[in-house]
Amino acid sequence: MTTCTKCGDSGWLERPDGMVRCECKKRPAPPKLSAQEIVALTAAATEASHQLACIPEYPLEKPARQPIADALISMCASIEQIEYIVHRAAALYSHRRWRECGIAGLRQILLFKWPARDGINSGPETMPEGFPEGLPGADGLVGYDAEKQVIPQSIPRGLLLTSGDEAPVDLSDALQKLGEAKRLPPANAPLKNVRPITQADIDAAVAKRRKA
């Protein structure tokens, strides 16, 4: 049942200069962390802000990375969450650009598994340029690699392989011919060009061993 006539309980209002939060949705205070937890979280977020440099066009200057570390500290409640964000961001955006991810992309990754510690769980701040409609894949863990790379489970017929300037080769026919050449005959099939062993052959072999 709708209780807010301004935003329809969405928490956001659309204005000419962009989206703004509705007064009916106030961010809850982040859960308090102990002094030890804050120190550990700060260290992990700072390290993460440098590890994210694997994403193309990521800020090179340390002062520019500070807001990223601050955002990680604000939204994450554990070191596990920070490590998860770095791992997934590297997989999703290493073939994209930082501006397609941004802090909104980091938050989007977090929200797939956990609610944000600072209470920002929806709205424009969770919709990055790279994946505005959500992370690709049914489990949210599939990134650019699944979109651009396909590993065949078997060699399809007509597959062409080439090396350097060599002409492409159709491996399917070659593999089929090789398999036929290596195929063993049935157990009850008669052997060709093979003379059967007689009792005389056996007696001669025994006599030869006795003389040796």
Task: Work out the number of other CB atoms within 10 angstroms of the CB of residue 46.
Answer: 19
| Rg of the chain (C-alpha set) | 33
**pTM as predicted:** 0.54
Give the pLDDT of residue 85. 96
User: Average of pLDDT values for 127-152?
Assistant: 60
Buried b (16+ CB within 10 A) or exposed e, 88-115: bbebbbeebebebbbbbbbbbbbbeebe
Q: Which of 20-34, 72-86, 131-145, 160-174 shows the highest mean pLDDT? A: 72-86
pLDDT tens-digit profile of 2-57? 567 777 767 777 888 777 777 666 556 667 788 888 899 999 999 999 999 999 99
Is residue 102's pLDDT more than 90? Answer: yes
User: Average of pLDDT values for 108-117?
Assistant: 92
120: enclosing H helix or E strand:
none
DSSP state of 121: -
User: Average of pLDDT values for 98-124?
Assistant: 92
